[in-house]
Structure 1
Amino acid sequence: MVAAADALARSVDEPEPVTVWDRPGTVGGAVVDEVCGPAPAEAEQYYVRVPDAAALLDRMRPVLDARLARSGIEPPDEVLLGTFRQQLRLPVVDGRFVREPVVGGTLQSPGAHGGAGAAPDLLGPLLLGPLGMAGLSRRHPDVYPGPHVDLMEALFPPVRADLLTYYLP
Protein backbone atom coordinates (compact mmCIF):
# COMPACT_ATOMS: atom_id res chain seq x y z
CA MET A 1 0.00 0.00 0.00
CA VAL A 2 2.80 2.41 0.89
CA ALA A 3 4.62 1.66 -2.37
CA ALA A 4 1.46 2.28 -4.41
CA ALA A 5 0.73 5.57 -2.66
CA ASP A 6 4.35 6.64 -3.06
CA ALA A 7 4.36 5.80 -6.79
CA LEU A 8 1.12 7.71 -7.33
CA ALA A 9 2.32 10.79 -5.45
CA ARG A 10 5.65 10.83 -7.30
CA SER A 11 4.05 10.33 -10.73
CA VAL A 12 2.61 13.83 -10.78
CA ASP A 13 4.44 15.96 -13.32
CA GLU A 14 4.83 19.63 -12.75
CA PRO A 15 4.74 22.46 -14.58
CA GLU A 16 1.20 22.96 -13.27
CA PRO A 17 0.75 23.19 -9.50
CA VAL A 18 -1.14 20.29 -8.04
CA THR A 19 -3.64 20.52 -5.21
CA VAL A 20 -4.00 17.33 -3.22
CA TRP A 21 -6.80 16.65 -0.75
CA ASP A 22 -6.10 13.70 1.47
CA ARG A 23 -7.43 11.96 4.52
CA PRO A 24 -5.07 12.63 7.45
CA GLY A 25 -4.00 9.54 9.31
CA THR A 26 -4.09 7.27 6.26
CA VAL A 27 -1.12 5.62 4.54
CA GLY A 28 -1.79 7.64 1.42
CA GLY A 29 -2.09 10.84 3.45
CA ALA A 30 1.30 10.27 5.08
CA VAL A 31 2.98 9.68 1.71
CA VAL A 32 1.30 12.70 0.13
CA ASP A 33 2.44 14.86 3.06
CA GLU A 34 6.00 13.59 2.62
CA VAL A 35 6.11 14.09 -1.15
CA CYS A 36 3.89 17.13 -1.65
CA GLY A 37 4.01 18.85 1.71
CA PRO A 38 1.24 19.12 4.28
CA ALA A 39 -2.37 19.79 3.31
CA PRO A 40 -3.69 23.34 3.65
CA ALA A 41 -4.69 24.35 7.17
CA GLU A 42 -8.17 25.47 6.11
CA ALA A 43 -10.92 23.04 6.91
CA GLU A 44 -14.47 22.92 5.70
CA GLN A 45 -16.99 23.04 8.48
CA TYR A 46 -20.68 22.43 8.88
CA TYR A 47 -22.82 24.23 11.40
CA VAL A 48 -24.03 21.74 14.00
CA ARG A 49 -26.51 22.62 16.73
CA VAL A 50 -26.35 20.69 19.97
CA PRO A 51 -29.70 21.11 21.73
CA ASP A 52 -28.72 18.95 24.74
CA ALA A 53 -24.98 18.93 25.42
CA ALA A 54 -25.30 16.61 28.42
CA ALA A 55 -27.19 14.00 26.40
CA LEU A 56 -24.64 14.14 23.58
CA LEU A 57 -21.69 13.81 25.96
CA ASP A 58 -23.46 10.93 27.70
CA ARG A 59 -23.85 9.14 24.36
CA MET A 60 -20.19 9.87 23.59
CA ARG A 61 -18.90 8.33 26.85
CA PRO A 62 -17.60 5.14 25.16
CA VAL A 63 -15.72 7.26 22.62
CA LEU A 64 -14.36 9.55 25.34
CA ASP A 65 -13.31 6.49 27.39
CA ALA A 66 -11.40 5.10 24.41
CA ARG A 67 -9.70 8.44 23.71
CA LEU A 68 -8.73 8.79 27.35
CA ALA A 69 -7.31 5.25 27.45
CA ARG A 70 -5.27 5.84 24.26
CA SER A 71 -3.90 9.11 25.60
CA GLY A 72 -2.22 7.58 28.65
CA ILE A 73 -3.05 10.80 30.55
CA GLU A 74 -4.04 10.49 34.19
CA PRO A 75 -7.26 12.52 34.41
CA PRO A 76 -8.56 14.47 37.39
CA ASP A 77 -11.60 13.15 39.30
CA GLU A 78 -13.87 14.94 36.85
CA VAL A 79 -13.60 16.67 33.51
CA LEU A 80 -15.26 20.07 33.44
CA LEU A 81 -16.55 21.67 30.26
CA GLY A 82 -18.21 25.06 30.51
CA THR A 83 -20.48 26.20 27.69
CA PHE A 84 -21.27 29.69 29.07
CA ARG A 85 -24.91 28.65 29.60
CA GLN A 86 -24.09 25.66 31.76
CA GLN A 87 -21.30 23.57 33.14
CA LEU A 88 -20.92 19.88 32.38
CA ARG A 89 -18.94 17.73 34.78
CA LEU A 90 -17.99 14.24 33.67
CA PRO A 91 -17.06 12.11 36.71
CA VAL A 92 -13.97 9.91 36.26
CA VAL A 93 -13.31 6.75 38.26
CA ASP A 94 -10.35 4.49 37.50
CA GLY A 95 -9.72 6.32 34.24
CA ARG A 96 -13.28 5.91 32.95
CA PHE A 97 -16.29 8.17 32.61
CA VAL A 98 -18.57 6.26 34.95
CA ARG A 99 -21.91 8.00 34.57
CA GLU A 100 -23.80 10.73 32.75
CA PRO A 101 -22.52 14.30 32.98
CA VAL A 102 -23.59 16.35 35.96
CA VAL A 103 -25.17 19.56 34.70
CA GLY A 104 -24.83 22.80 36.59
CA GLY A 105 -25.61 26.44 35.97
CA THR A 106 -23.37 29.09 34.54
CA LEU A 107 -19.79 29.14 35.78
CA GLN A 108 -17.43 32.05 35.30
CA SER A 109 -13.97 31.05 34.09
CA PRO A 110 -14.13 27.24 33.96
CA GLY A 111 -10.38 27.29 33.33
CA ALA A 112 -9.85 28.67 36.84
CA HIS A 113 -11.69 25.56 38.10
CA GLY A 114 -9.52 23.16 36.07
CA GLY A 115 -11.90 22.91 33.12
CA ALA A 116 -12.23 23.93 29.51
CA GLY A 117 -14.68 26.27 27.88
CA ALA A 118 -16.56 26.46 24.60
CA ALA A 119 -19.27 28.84 23.50
CA PRO A 120 -22.59 27.03 22.94
CA ASP A 121 -22.48 27.58 19.17
CA LEU A 122 -18.99 26.02 19.02
CA LEU A 123 -19.82 22.89 21.01
CA GLY A 124 -20.86 20.97 17.86
CA PRO A 125 -17.62 21.76 16.04
CA LEU A 126 -15.65 20.91 19.20
CA LEU A 127 -17.23 17.45 19.51
CA LEU A 128 -17.76 16.58 15.84
CA GLY A 129 -15.66 18.94 13.73
CA PRO A 130 -12.38 18.79 11.84
CA LEU A 131 -10.47 21.20 14.10
CA GLY A 132 -10.89 19.73 17.58
CA MET A 133 -9.88 21.59 20.72
CA ALA A 134 -6.47 22.61 19.40
CA GLY A 135 -7.72 24.05 16.11
CA LEU A 136 -10.82 25.73 17.49
CA SER A 137 -8.91 27.36 20.34
CA ARG A 138 -6.50 28.88 17.82
CA ARG A 139 -9.39 30.34 15.79
CA HIS A 140 -11.92 31.28 18.46
CA PRO A 141 -11.23 33.01 21.76
CA ASP A 142 -14.48 31.47 23.06
CA VAL A 143 -12.90 27.99 22.98
CA TYR A 144 -10.09 27.33 25.42
CA PRO A 145 -8.62 24.13 26.84
CA GLY A 146 -7.92 25.45 30.33
CA PRO A 147 -5.02 24.12 32.41
CA HIS A 148 -5.29 20.50 31.16
CA VAL A 149 -4.43 21.19 27.52
CA ASP A 150 -3.15 17.68 26.70
CA LEU A 151 -6.21 16.04 28.24
CA MET A 152 -8.69 18.30 26.45
CA GLU A 153 -6.92 17.86 23.11
CA ALA A 154 -6.96 14.08 23.61
CA LEU A 155 -10.67 14.04 24.49
CA PHE A 156 -11.67 16.46 21.73
CA PRO A 157 -9.42 15.74 18.74
CA PRO A 158 -10.15 16.72 15.14
CA VAL A 159 -12.85 14.46 13.72
CA ARG A 160 -12.64 13.93 10.00
CA ALA A 161 -15.46 12.13 8.26
CA ASP A 162 -17.59 12.32 5.18
CA LEU A 163 -20.95 13.92 5.82
CA LEU A 164 -23.82 12.27 4.04
CA THR A 165 -25.92 15.19 2.81
CA TYR A 166 -28.51 13.31 0.80
CA TYR A 167 -30.77 10.36 1.43
CA LEU A 168 -29.97 6.94 0.00
CA PRO A 169 -33.02 4.65 -0.40
Structure 2
Amino acid sequence: MGEHLSVSLQPQPVLTTDRLILRPLLENDAAVIQQALSDRAIGDTMISIPHPYPPGAASAYISRQQSAFEAGEAVVFAIEQAAQQQFIGAIEIREIDQEHLQAELSFWLVASAWNQGYMSEVLPPILQYGFLDLGLNRLYAYHMARNSACGRMLRNKGFVQEGVLRQRVRKWGVFEDVVLMSILREEW
Protein backbone atom coordinates (compact mmCIF):
# COMPACT_ATOMS: atom_id res chain seq x y z
CA MET A 1 0.00 0.00 0.00
CA GLY A 2 1.16 3.53 -0.76
CA GLU A 3 2.14 5.87 1.98
CA HIS A 4 -0.74 8.06 3.14
CA LEU A 5 0.29 11.57 4.10
CA SER A 6 -1.89 14.37 5.33
CA VAL A 7 -1.55 17.77 6.89
CA SER A 8 -2.22 17.77 10.62
CA LEU A 9 -3.13 20.99 12.40
CA GLN A 10 -2.44 20.93 16.12
CA PRO A 11 -3.03 23.96 18.33
CA GLN A 12 -1.10 26.80 16.76
CA PRO A 13 2.32 27.18 18.35
CA VAL A 14 4.20 30.35 19.17
CA LEU A 15 7.49 30.45 17.25
CA THR A 16 10.42 32.66 18.20
CA THR A 17 13.56 34.02 16.60
CA ASP A 18 16.27 36.26 18.02
CA ARG A 19 14.17 39.40 17.54
CA LEU A 20 10.66 38.19 16.82
CA ILE A 21 7.67 36.33 18.20
CA LEU A 22 5.39 34.58 15.70
CA ARG A 23 2.06 34.06 17.40
CA PRO A 24 -1.60 33.51 16.52
CA LEU A 25 -3.57 36.59 15.51
CA LEU A 26 -5.69 38.06 18.28
CA GLU A 27 -8.85 40.15 18.12
CA ASN A 28 -6.98 43.08 19.66
CA ASP A 29 -4.61 43.08 16.64
CA ALA A 30 -7.42 44.47 14.48
CA ALA A 31 -6.69 48.16 15.11
CA VAL A 32 -2.98 47.91 14.27
CA ILE A 33 -3.69 45.73 11.22
CA GLN A 34 -6.33 48.18 10.02
CA GLN A 35 -3.88 51.06 10.37
CA ALA A 36 -0.96 49.19 8.78
CA LEU A 37 -2.90 47.94 5.77
CA SER A 38 -4.29 51.41 5.17
CA ASP A 39 -0.74 52.45 4.18
CA ARG A 40 -0.63 52.83 0.40
CA ALA A 41 2.99 51.58 0.36
CA ILE A 42 1.87 48.16 1.60
CA GLY A 43 -1.10 47.96 -0.76
CA ASP A 44 1.15 48.93 -3.66
CA THR A 45 3.07 45.64 -3.75
CA MET A 46 0.49 43.25 -2.29
CA ILE A 47 -1.57 41.25 -4.74
CA SER A 48 -4.56 40.66 -2.46
CA ILE A 49 -4.62 43.71 -0.18
CA PRO A 50 -6.82 46.51 -1.49
CA HIS A 51 -6.14 50.19 -1.04
CA PRO A 52 -7.83 51.94 0.54
CA TYR A 53 -8.24 49.16 3.10
CA PRO A 54 -11.96 49.09 3.93
CA PRO A 55 -13.08 50.01 7.47
CA GLY A 56 -13.70 46.88 9.53
CA ALA A 57 -11.72 44.70 7.11
CA ALA A 58 -9.07 43.82 9.72
CA SER A 59 -11.63 42.40 12.18
CA ALA A 60 -13.25 40.41 9.37
CA TYR A 61 -9.79 39.15 8.28
CA ILE A 62 -8.96 37.92 11.80
CA SER A 63 -12.31 36.17 12.05
CA ARG A 64 -11.83 34.49 8.63
CA GLN A 65 -8.33 33.37 9.58
CA GLN A 66 -9.56 31.76 12.80
CA SER A 67 -12.24 29.87 10.86
CA ALA A 68 -9.71 28.83 8.18
CA PHE A 69 -7.36 27.50 10.87
CA GLU A 70 -10.15 25.47 12.49
CA ALA A 71 -11.03 24.04 9.06
CA GLY A 72 -7.38 23.08 8.38
CA GLU A 73 -7.16 25.50 5.45
CA ALA A 74 -4.69 28.10 6.75
CA VAL A 75 -2.41 29.17 9.58
CA VAL A 76 -1.57 32.83 10.09
CA PHE A 77 1.07 34.18 12.43
CA ALA A 78 1.30 37.72 13.71
CA ILE A 79 4.90 38.96 13.51
CA GLU A 80 5.81 40.86 16.65
CA GLN A 81 9.06 42.52 17.68
CA ALA A 82 9.95 40.70 20.89
CA ALA A 83 11.68 43.55 22.74
CA GLN A 84 8.99 46.14 22.00
CA GLN A 85 6.04 43.69 21.90
CA GLN A 86 5.02 45.54 18.74
CA PHE A 87 3.01 44.00 15.89
CA ILE A 88 4.88 44.55 12.60
CA GLY A 89 3.23 42.19 10.11
CA ALA A 90 1.80 38.79 9.34
CA ILE A 91 2.71 35.60 7.51
CA GLU A 92 0.19 33.02 6.34
CA ILE A 93 0.41 29.44 5.24
CA ARG A 94 -2.82 29.38 3.29
CA GLU A 95 -4.77 27.33 0.79
CA ILE A 96 -3.45 24.20 2.46
CA ASP A 97 -3.98 21.39 -0.04
CA GLN A 98 -4.46 18.16 1.91
CA GLU A 99 -4.28 15.95 -1.17
CA HIS A 100 -1.08 17.33 -2.69
CA LEU A 101 0.52 18.52 0.59
CA GLN A 102 1.23 22.04 -0.58
CA ALA A 103 0.30 25.54 0.50
CA GLU A 104 0.90 29.18 -0.35
CA LEU A 105 2.98 31.56 1.75
CA SER A 106 1.76 35.14 1.92
CA PHE A 107 3.35 37.82 4.07
CA TRP A 108 3.62 41.54 4.71
CA LEU A 109 5.40 43.92 7.04
CA VAL A 110 4.61 47.47 8.09
CA ALA A 111 6.68 49.89 6.02
CA SER A 112 8.76 50.98 9.04
CA ALA A 113 10.00 47.36 9.37
CA TRP A 114 11.17 47.00 5.74
CA ASN A 115 14.84 46.37 4.93
CA GLN A 116 15.75 45.20 8.42
CA GLY A 117 15.98 41.47 7.71
CA TYR A 118 12.79 40.56 9.55
CA MET A 119 11.28 38.43 6.79
CA SER A 120 14.58 36.58 6.33
CA GLU A 121 14.40 35.85 10.06
CA VAL A 122 10.75 34.75 9.90
CA LEU A 123 11.07 32.27 7.03
CA PRO A 124 13.26 29.55 8.65
CA PRO A 125 10.85 28.78 11.52
CA ILE A 126 7.85 29.10 9.18
CA LEU A 127 9.39 26.67 6.69
CA GLN A 128 10.21 24.28 9.51
CA TYR A 129 6.62 24.52 10.78
CA GLY A 130 5.21 23.98 7.27
CA PHE A 131 7.41 21.03 6.38
CA LEU A 132 7.72 19.28 9.73
CA ASP A 133 4.66 20.19 11.79
CA LEU A 134 2.15 20.43 8.95
CA GLY A 135 3.81 17.70 6.86
CA LEU A 136 3.77 19.73 3.65
CA ASN A 137 5.89 18.82 0.64
CA ARG A 138 5.79 22.15 -1.22
CA LEU A 139 5.42 25.79 -0.25
CA TYR A 140 4.97 28.44 -2.90
CA ALA A 141 4.77 32.22 -2.93
CA TYR A 142 3.81 34.90 -5.41
CA HIS A 143 5.31 38.36 -5.67
CA MET A 144 4.83 41.21 -8.06
CA ALA A 145 7.69 41.21 -10.57
CA ARG A 146 8.64 44.78 -9.71
CA ASN A 147 9.13 43.77 -6.06
CA SER A 148 12.64 42.43 -6.67
CA ALA A 149 13.56 42.64 -2.96
CA CYS A 150 10.92 40.03 -2.18
CA GLY A 151 12.22 37.75 -4.94
CA ARG A 152 15.79 38.10 -3.69
CA MET A 153 14.79 37.28 -0.14
CA LEU A 154 12.88 34.17 -1.24
CA ARG A 155 15.80 33.00 -3.42
CA ASN A 156 18.17 33.47 -0.48
CA LYS A 157 15.96 31.14 1.56
CA GLY A 158 16.00 28.39 -1.10
CA PHE A 159 12.96 29.23 -3.21
CA VAL A 160 13.20 28.61 -6.96
CA GLN A 161 11.40 30.67 -9.57
CA GLU A 162 8.87 28.52 -11.40
CA GLY A 163 7.57 31.11 -13.78
CA VAL A 164 6.14 34.52 -14.51
CA LEU A 165 2.40 35.00 -14.75
CA ARG A 166 2.15 37.76 -17.31
CA GLN A 167 -0.19 40.61 -16.46
CA ARG A 168 -1.70 38.44 -13.72
CA VAL A 169 -2.96 41.31 -11.55
CA ARG A 170 -4.32 44.76 -12.13
CA LYS A 171 -3.12 47.27 -9.58
CA TRP A 172 -4.56 50.77 -9.84
CA GLY A 173 -5.47 50.29 -13.49
CA VAL A 174 -2.11 48.81 -14.54
CA PHE A 175 -1.68 45.12 -15.41
CA GLU A 176 1.38 43.68 -13.71
CA ASP A 177 3.42 40.50 -13.97
CA VAL A 178 3.60 38.16 -10.99
CA VAL A 179 6.44 35.76 -10.20
CA LEU A 180 5.70 32.28 -8.80
CA MET A 181 8.41 30.76 -6.59
CA SER A 182 8.48 27.56 -4.55
CA ILE A 183 10.54 25.41 -2.24
CA LEU A 184 10.20 21.64 -1.77
CA ARG A 185 10.73 19.79 1.48
CA GLU A 186 13.69 17.92 -0.09
CA GLU A 187 15.32 21.26 -0.99
CA TRP A 188 14.78 22.76 2.43
TM-score grouping bracket, smaller chain normalisation: under 0.3
Please identify which structure carries the higher strand content: 2
What TM-score, normalized to structure 1?
0.24
Please identify which structure carries the higher helix content: 1
Rg larger for: 1
What TM-score, normalized to structure 2?
0.23
